[in-house]
Every structure is written in structure tokens, then in C-alpha cells.
Copies of this chain bind each other. A is one copy, B any other.
Amino acid sequence: MADALFFKKHGPYALGRLAEIASADLTDDKGADVEIEDVAALNKAESGHLTFLDNVKYREELAASNASACILRPDMVEHLPEGMIGLLSGSPYKAFALIAQTFYPQEPSKGHIDKAAHIASGAVIGDNVTVEAGAVIESGAEVDKDSIVEAGAVIKEHVKIGAHCRIGANAVISHAVIGNHVNIYRGCCIGQDGFGFAMDADGFTKVPQLGKVIIEDHAEIGANTTIDRGSMQDTVIGAGTWLDNLVQIGHNVKMGRNCVMVAQSGISGSTTLGDFVVVAGQVGIAGHLNIGSGARIAAKSGVMRDIGPGEEHMGYPSVPIKSFMRQIATLNKMIKRDKSKD
């Protein structure tokens, strides 16, 4: 399915092994030896492919599919066409992700230091690290084993980067300590001065920004995203937290574990998020707020108050999502009444 120009396919794999990888149960034990050559979307899968059904509304596409096997929830097994083997899983999408990773694993570091990379003599480079052409690693910086520093990336003095990280092309990192298995996408700017100044009639007086950025293990930071370092404390991105592209994180922000921020959203200075917070696209969160664990903020919301754990908010300014829906409904009623008077 994937363009062979860009992606190297592994396999084939026996279905039994794939079921094991995905912690799924085969609907027919005889299927364990069937060879699977690739993964594919439901509407593109051919014989020899494995696909998945995540939503009952696509059951007709499943009925018409030539896939050899399909991951689906146990309660959908009735939709499985005759002759197709089912892999039963409570989380079909996750099961599919694990199998797709098996066919298309992340390319590991080849341990190649390009001769056009600029590595200062005082930098510490671990075993099997790749540094591509044009990358700059300054004195005192450390990059731990099996990490990849892509072309043109700039790692400034004394930055620490853990093992198995990927630092994308043309990203810039300073004043930061980065854990293991962290993926910084291309074009990111991490560790620059926060936006801090005293303002009076004469103009602005810069407040030195004396904190750093801490990014914990397994975080992902999207393309062209910016994360400012702290002023008097650190900016922290928790373990397993994922930021999409063009996101802005202000100084002193603390994000917990496994949070998500969708593209073009931003958090102002000194705001704290718990764990598993979901921030949708183009949301803005004001400074000095607390957002509880498990909170969910709908796209384009403007958050001006604290949000409790597990609450769902929407609007500008944001309110609990039921209140937002009520606002819309009431306004529509008013319009109707207003029209009927015309």
C-alpha cells in the first residue's frame, strides 16, 4: 500500500504472529498460518492484506473487501464476510497500529556521522548516533546512544538529549534537557527566551529568562512548534505528551503525562495541565491557570478560567460544553422569535 519509494516494507508475517503482537484473538485457529503481506485501508485492501473495522458504518465496505484478515471488535464479528479471518480486539485501531508498526518500523539510527556535520570538540556523542549533513552540535551538548540528529538541526551549548531520540531537520534547541525516545519534529524552536518584560512609558525592560525546558520520555513535538524556556522556573512537557504542529508553549508551563495538543493551539505562561488533557486545534489557554487531568477542550476555544478534572469545555470565552450548546440553542430561538415578529 505504502509508496515503495519512501517506505520499506518488512514481512510477510504469519497471521498468528500478528495476532499475538496485537493481543487479538483469531476467529479461526486455522488462520494462524495464513501469510499476510501488508496492511491496508478497508477500501483498498486486497487478498494477502490485513485491514481493520473501527466503526460499524463501514460494514458494507467490509462486506465488499478482499482483505484476507480484519481486526474488529467482538460485537461486530457478525459483519465479517465468509472466508475472511477476524482478529478480535477491544481496541481495533491500536491493534492495527501495532501491526502496521511491524510492517513499517521506524528506521533505527545507522550510527553515521556525516562529514558535513558540524560537531564542536566539546560535544559528547553516544554510541550509534546519526548526525546528518549541516547539523550543528555545540560544545558541552550531549546526545545519547541511538539518537538521530537530522540535517541542519542546531543543538546549542550544554543541551542534553537522551537515547533513541530524533531531532528533526532544522530544529533548534537550547537550554533544554530532553529524555529518551523523544521525537522533536523539523523546524521546532525549543528553549528560547520566554516573552517576559516589564513595561512602562519608556518601553520594555527585558526580564532575564533563567529557567530551562524539560521534555520527558516518549514526548512528540510537532513541526515548527515553539516552546519557551522558563523565567524563574522550568517549562515542562510530561512523559508521553504529544504536541502537533505550530503549537506555542509559553514560559513556565507545566504539562503532565499523555496530554495532546492539536495544531495551532497555544498555552500562555505559567499555566499547569494535569495528565491526559486533550487540547483541540487553535485553542488558546490564558496564563496562570490550572487545567485538571482528563479535561477536554474543544477546537478554537479561548480558555480564561481554570478547568476541573475531566471537564469538557468549549467557546470563547470557554464554558462547559453543555453551556456552550445552550448558548447556541438560545440564540437560535431568539432569532426565530425575532423573525416571526418581522
Contacts of A232 in B (CB 8 A): 1, 40-41, 44
A323 to B304, CA, bound (A): 18
A75 to B116, CA, bound (A): 61
A17 interface residue (CB < 8 Å to B): no
Establish whether residues B189 and A6, one from each chain, have CB atoms under 8 Å apart when the complex forms.
no
**Nearest chain-B residue to A229 (Cβ)?**
B6
Within 8 A of B (CB), among A205-228: 205-208, 210-212, 218, 222-224, 226, 228
**Nearest chain-B residue to A105 (Cβ)?**
B208
Segment from A27-35, A61-69, A77-85, A165-173 that makes contact with B: A165-173
**Nearest chain-B residue to A102 (Cβ)?**
B208
Interface residues of A toward B: which range? 35 or more
A104 to B151, CA, bound (A): 32
A109 interface residue (CB < 8 Å to B): no
Establish whether residues A210 and B134, one from each chain, have CB atoms under 8 Å apart when the complex forms.
no
Establish whether residues B172 and A242, one from each chain, have CB atoms under 8 Å apart when the complex forms.
no
User: Taking the nearest CB of chain B, how far is it from the CB of A239, in angstroms?
Assistant: 8
A164 interface residue (CB < 8 Å to B): no
- CB 8 Å contact bits of A232-250 with B (1 = contact, 0 = none): 1100000010101110101
Contacts of A158 in B (CB 8 A): 5-6
Contacts of A169 in B (CB 8 A): 136, 154, 156, 172
Establish whether residues A97 and B331, one from each chain, have CB atoms under 8 Å apart when the complex forms.
no
Among B103, B186, B299, point to the contact of A286 (Cβ < 8 A).
B299
Establish whether residues B210 and A100, one from each chain, have CB atoms under 8 Å apart when the complex forms.
yes
Among B93, B136, B326, B334, point to the contact of A151 (Cβ < 8 A).
B136
- CB 8 Å contact bits of A170-208 with B (1 = contact, 0 = none): 101011000000000111010011010111100111111
Known: A3-B210, A187-B189, A224-B226. 20 other contacts (CB 8 A): A6-B212, A41-B233, A44-B233, A100-B207, A136-B152, A151-B172, A172-B187, A187-B224, A195-B244, A199-B260, A204-B242, A223-B226, A245-B248, A248-B264, A248-B281, A263-B266, A300-B316, A316-B316, A317-B328, A327-B335
